[in-house]
Chain A
Amino acid sequence: MKKTFRHSMAWLHTWSGLLLSWILFAILVTGTATYFRHEITRWMKPELAIPISKNAPAHAIQNSLMYLNDHAPSSENWFISLPGDRSGVSSLMWWNDESTETALIDPSTRQEIKPRDTRGGEFFYRFHFQLQLPYPWGRYLAGVAAMFMFVALISGIITHRQFFKEFFTFRPTRAWLRSCMDFHNVMAVLALPFYLMISFSALVIFMHMYLPWGNMALDKISAPAVTEESPMATPATPPQLLPFDQILALVEKESAGLSLSRIVIRNRGTEKADISLFKNNSKGLSSSRSNQLRFSAITGEKLPLEDLAADGVVGKISDVFYGLHLAHFANPLTRTLFFIMGAMGAAMTGSGMVMWTQKRKAAQLKKKRPSFGYLIVDRLNLASITGLFIAIAVMFWANRLLPTEIAMRELLEVKGFLYAWGLSLLHACCRPIGKAWLEQLWIAAILYLGIPLLDIATAWQWMKISISNGDGLFPLFDLVMALTGASFGWVAWKLATRQSKATPSVISTKTQEA
C-alpha cells in the first residue's frame, strides 16, 4: 500500500495504463478510423465510384428487390442496405442453405458491380473490438482493455494534482518530459467526457458476454414449458407469400416520404415471414429498434416491433449507450469531431506509454544493463505506435498494388498488415532503440506521403469519374494521408535534431545499444 490515497491512485494509473496500453492504442487508432469506415471502404474499392446522393434514389428500392427476386427467389432471408449519403451502391445479402451470398449493385441500372476483393474499412471496425483473434477471445481481451482504460481514467483524474489550474496548459518549450506530461494531461482532460463515454459504452455493448449470468437467468425464466400433452405440430403447407409485385408495391407505398437505410425480408416461406423497413437514424442518439416499420410478408398488415415492450428502461439506456458509441446519428462535421477526439485518445495513450520509459530512462542508463522489463516496454512502444501506422499504410499500399484477380486477395491484405506489424517489432528488437524510432518514423512518413502518388498512378480512371460526379472522397483521403506522412516526417526531423544535440557524455555507445 502506498503512503497516501493519491500515491495509490498514481500507482494504479501507471500500471492499469501501461499493461494493456499496446492493445488499447491499437483499439483507439482502429476505432477512430472506424468513424470513416464507409469512406475507407469506398477508397479501397475504387470501382464503386458511383454518384452519392443524400437519400437513396427512388428506383434503388425497386432495383434492389428485383435483383434479389431474380437471383435469390428461394432464399429465406433477404438483406438490403440502400445507398445513402455515405455510399452510392445497394449492398445485398441473402442466405443459401450452405452460405451467405452478397452482391453490390448500381441502384440506377441494377448492374452488379464487382469491386476488388478487400475488407476495406470493415477491417478496422472488426479489428477494434475483435483484434483479429478468434471469437470470443478477441472480444474478451478488448473488453479487459476497455476496463483497464476506465480504471486508468478514474485514477488519472484523482492523481492529476492541478486539474483546474493546468486545464489549458501545454508548455512545448520546457524540458521534454515536462512538455510530454503537459501534452498527456491536455489530451486527457479536454476530451475526458468522450473517453468516459467511449470506454463505458464499449463495456455496455458486450456486457452480455462479460456478465452473462443475468441473461442466463432470464432465459430460464422465460423459456416455454414443455408438457407431455403438447403434441409436436406437423409442419403445414408453407404459407403463401404475397406476390412479388405486391411486396414491391407495399414497400414503395410505406417508404414514401421516408429516408430508408435498410430493408430486411426474413423467414420467407414460413408463417413468420416479415418485411422490416429501417429508417435513417438521423434523429436521436439511440440505436433503438423503434426506427423501423414491420409488415407481414403474407398478409401485408402492419406488425408490432419485436420485443420492444420487453426492453424497459435498462434496455433503452443500453440503446442510447450503443448509439453514442457507434455515432450513427453523426453528420459529417460531428463525425469529424469524433474522429479528432478519438485521435486525441490515441495521442493520450501513446504519450503515456512514451512517458513511462522516458521517466525511467535516466535511472536505467545508470545501471550496468537496463532491466528486461524496461527493454521490452521500450520496444513494444515503438512497434505499437509507429509500427501500427506502418502496418496500416502497408495495407493501403497492398490494396492498390495487389492484382485484383488474385485468389484470397482480402486475406493477403490482412496478412500484409500483420506481417508489417510483426516486422516492425522485430526491427525494434534488433536495432538500437534510438535509431529504430528514427528509421520507423521515416518509413512511416515515406509510406503515407507515397499514398496520393500511388492513388493517382493506379486508380486514376475511377478518381476521374468520382471527381466529375462531385465526390471529393479521393482527394480528401489522399490529403489526409499526405498530412499523416508530413506529421511523421516532422516528428522524425525533431527527433533527429534532438538526438544530434544530445552530448556524447550523456549517450554512450554502450547505453545506446540498449
Chain B
Amino acid sequence: MNSVGLILGFLTVAGFALSMKPHHQAILNRPLKDREKRCYQFAGVIAALVTFIYSVKTHGWDFGLTGAVIDLTIGGLLLTFLISYQPRAVVWLSGIGMAGLLCLLALPR
C-alpha cells in the first residue's frame, strides 16, 4: 500500500467516471460523445489493470489484490466527493497524478 497505488486507483475511477454522461457533464461542463465514452472506458480498464498489476508486483498476490481493491475504494470515495463539491478538481488531480507517475517512471532506478 503506497501513494503510487492510490494515484493509480484514483486515475482508474476518474476514467470510468468521465465515461458516464452526468459525471462527464459535471467535470468537464460539456456533453459526452460516443467516441469519447469508449476512449474513457478503455482508459479506465487499462488504469485498472495497471493498478492491479502494480499492486501484485509490489506486494505479492495475496496482499497485492487486497491493496488494489483498497486503492480503488479510496480513490472512488475521493472522486465522489470531488464531483459533488469541486468537479473541476478531478481534472487537476488527475493531471497532477499522471505527471507524478511519469516523473517516477523517468527517474533512474
Contacts and interface: CB of A to CB of B under 8 A. Distances in A.
A and B associate in one complex: yes
B23 A168 contact: yes
Contacts of A334: 1, 67, 70
Contacts of A167: 16-17, 20, 76
Interface of A: 165, 167-172, 186, 190-191, 193-194, 283-286, 320, 324, 329-331, 333-334, 337-338, 340-341, 344
B28 to A, nearest CB: 14
| Main SS at interface, chain B | helix
B62 A320 contact: yes
Interface of B: 1-2, 13, 16-17, 20, 22-23, 60, 62-63, 66-67, 69-70, 73-74, 76-77, 79-81, 83-85
B95 to A, nearest CB: 19
Contact of A168 (B2, B17, B60, B70): B17
A312 to B, nearest CB: 18
Contacts of A337: 1, 70, 73-74
B48 to A, nearest CB: 14
Contacts of B67: 334
A193 B69 contact: yes
Most chain A CB inside 10 Å of its own CB: which residue of B13, B17, B80, B81: B80
18 contacts: A165-B20, A167-B17, A167-B20, A168-B17, A168-B76, A169-B23, A190-B73, A190-B77, A190-B80, A284-B63, A285-B62, A285-B63, A285-B66, A286-B62, A330-B1, A337-B1, A337-B73, A341-B73
A333 B81 contact: no
B69 A168 contact: no
Contacts of B70: 194, 334, 337-338, 341
Given A284-B63, A333-B1, A168 B83 contact: yes
Contacts of A186: 77, 80
A288 B16 CA distance: 38
A172 B79 CA distance: 15
Contacts of A169: 22-23, 80, 83
Select the residue from B16, B63, B67 with max chain A CB neighbours within 10 A: B63
A191 B73 contact: yes
A284 B62 CA distance: 6
Given A169-B80, A186-B80, A337-B74, 4 more contacts: A172-B85, A190-B76, A193-B69, A340-B74
B83 A170 contact: yes
A340 B70 CA distance: 10
Contacts of B62: 284-286, 320
Contacts of A324: 66
A344 B84 contact: no
A330 B80 CA distance: 25
Contacts of B76: 167-168, 190
Contacts of A171: 84
A468 to B, nearest CB: 29
A191 B84 CA distance: 18
Most buried by B among A172, A190, A338, A340: A190
* Nearest 4 interchain pairs by C-beta: A334-B1, A190-B76, A168-B80, A170-B84
Nearest to A332: B1
Contact of B2 (A191, A330, A333): A333
B80 A170 contact: yes
Given A168-B80, A193-B69, A329 B63 contact: yes
Given A337-B74, A341-B70, A172 B84 contact: yes
A167 B66 CA distance: 21
Nearest to A173: B84
Nearest to B3: A333
B108 to A, nearest CB: 26
Contacts of B81: 170
Nearest to B71: A337
A94 B96 CA distance: 55
A329 B2 CA distance: 14
Contacts of B60: 283-284
Contacts of A170: 80-81, 83-84
Contacts of A190: 73, 76-77, 80
The residue in A169, A186, A330 that gathers the most chain B C-beta atoms within 10 A of its C-beta is: A169
Contacts of A338: 70
A333 B3 CA distance: 9
Contacts of A193: 69, 73
Contacts of A340: 74, 77
Contact of B13 (A168, A172, A333, A341): A168
Nearest to B1: A334
A344 to B, nearest CB: 7
B80 A331 contact: no
A188 to B, nearest CB: 12
B19 to A, nearest CB: 11
Contacts of A330: 1
